[in-house]
Amino acid sequence: MSAADTTSTSRLKLGRIAAPVPDSEEFAWRVLILLNVFRLTLGSLLLAVFLAVQDPRIIGGTNPTLAAGALLAMLVTGVVEIWLLRRRSPSSTAQIYGQLILDLTIITTLMHASGGISSGVGGLLVVSVGALALLVAGERAFLFAALAALTILGEQALSQFQGVTDTAAYAPAGILGAVIFVIAIVVQVLRHRMLETEALAEQRGVDLKNLGELNQYIVQHLRESIVVVDGDDRLRLINESAATQLGAVSRRPGQALRDISPELADRLAIWRERERAPGEPPMNFTSADGAATIIPHFAPLGAERSGGMLIFLEDTSLLAERVQQTKLASLGRLSASIAHEIRNPVGAMSHAGQLLAEAPDIGPEEERLTDIIRVNGARVSQIVENVLALSRRDKTQPERFELKPWIEKFALEFVRTLELYEGSVSVVGSAVETEVRMDLSHLYQIVWNLCDNAVKYASATAGGIAVELECGRLEASGRPYLEISDRGPGIAPEKVEEVFEPFYTGEDGGTGLGLFISRELCECNGATLRYLPRDGGGSVFRVIFADPTRWQRAS
């Protein structure tokens, strides 16, 4: 049988069915083995009858000595044939002709020793010639039948010459020869049908294998992440995209889903137990590299939730990216209008308020009003600057540098600029070498925003200003990261995504653009900004950088 070629990652190769081979080697060996088993079994039975029934003799009635020799020859040649067939030597074609000659010789001799055609022993040639005719093409099959018929007629002539039989025995001898010819014809029709069926089965097998390989290729190269498990939550299929998201470096069919992703296994267990209530938030979890949020979608492979399950893993970052692109397009158009329509009037109002505050006869009430003008004018100007900076997010100038020395220098500058107490912003963690590639001005703005937020929100808590900067590498993916941690009030779980939306603020006087701009600047540098609740209270903002070696290969 031919087989389909294996699937490579670069090109899918589909197998082709070859033309049917008239003599299948493996099939020939199987038939020869069965025929030889039949010969040994038959020889043993005939020998038992020869030894057990002697008056009158059923086997060897005319010449017992010759019959005994023929039976022994049948058994001995059968044992030798078994040995040769196990060695697959000589070839199957030589074995076919050899067994035909042996059967014609031994069975005809046994028939002659048992009284000729009337003994019925010659009928054994029907089995032998029929089986061997199944292994050869039509002309040779008819040659086998002709040789058998001529051998039977030759034996009849010899028996008549020796006076064992008379001329009346020619009729049954001829009939037996004709039966052998008919059997050969029937076997050839059967052989032709078998070859057609074998070729069709082979073609269907190749088609099914090709279809399976094609399905496997399509599933493995889909951008969508797919996992298939059985009713016992054991892995049946996982494509490359899903394996990357779950961090399944080594996986095998039948492996427990919990061994690959405990988070996904927990959410599947919850889904099996109950239906999700309307309005209930999705059961999302973080990908293995910590850079994406995954929402699993479960589709049962049947009517029951307890059976096999098809799981689609949706990367929310792809959808968020499309949404952000739409937002950025709108903000880009808005920024141009802000630059022309708001900046100049705000500047004029701020300048007028400053002049009014410098008037010699201004009173306390007027000072309060001018202070309001100054503060809010500065706030509007900051919003304008943030939006304009956001519209220029694609202008990156990435550099490769060591992260630990950079954050140490930043922490010192930040404390001195805001005149904070020494130790309120500290760098923690081991002195691990962490090289990143990013636009320094963008990273400076991101970390400054995050640290500034940490100081503002933690200042309401007694002794809360304790900002910690820590860098390292994620265990799952090896990607470098930077964490900014504080002991502030933290963020409610339902508000985590909202804080990254533009103009969302939880503090009076804030612009609501700091975290939004920070995330956007991370994304334009191939990094990710995520929020994590801090053990013991507080917030952790983690910047996960792109792998600098991957960026270098792509540049």
What are the pLDDT digits (tens) for 501-524? 877 776 555 667 788 888 888 888
pLDDT confidence tier of residue 3, bands split at 50, 70 and 90: very low
CATH class given for the domain over 319-391: mainly alpha
Residue ranges of domains in the chain? 25-203, 225-274+282-314, 319-391, 398-554
Average pLDDT, stretch 257-271? 89
Q: How far is CA 262 from CA 103, 193, 269, 289, 293, in A?
A: 69, 55, 10, 15, 15
Q: Which positions ≥6 away from 201 have C-beta within 8 Å?
A: none
| pTM (two decimals) | 0.45
Q: Which positions ≥6 away from 55 have C-beta within 8 Å?
A: none
**CA dist., res. 408 & res. 401, Å (int):** 13
**What's the alpha-carbon Rg for the chain, to the nearest Å?**
45
Q: Is 216 helix (H, G, I), strand (E, B) or coil?
A: helix
**CA dist., res. 112 & res. 118, Å (int):** 10
Task: Specify the amino acid at residue 38.
Answer: F
| Contact status, residue 42 vs residue 128, Cβ threshold 8 Å | no
User: Which CATH number is 398-554 given?
Assistant: 3.30.565.10
Task: Assess whether pLDDT exceeds 80 at residue 221.
Answer: no
Question: Which pLDDT score, from 0 to 100, does residue 209 have?
Answer: 87
Domain 225-274+282-314 has CATH 3.30.450.20: yes
- The mean pLDDT value of the chain amounts to 82
Average pLDDT, stretch 51-68? 88
**Total residue count of the chain as it appears in this document:** 555
pLDDT confidence tier of residue 332, bands split at 50, 70 and 90: low
**DSSP code, position 54:** B
**Spatial CA neighbour of 146 closest among 188, 104, 107, 117:** 104
Task: Assess whether pLDDT exceeds 80 at residue 337.
Answer: no
Give me the sheet containing 425-427, strands edge to edge. Answer: 425-427, 467-473, 480-486, 539-544, 528-533
Tokens at 295, concatenated: 């929402």
* Sequence-ordered strand ranges (E) for 489-538: 528-533
Q: Is 193 helix (H, G, I), strand (E, B) or coil?
A: helix
Tokens at 7, concatenated: 């699937």
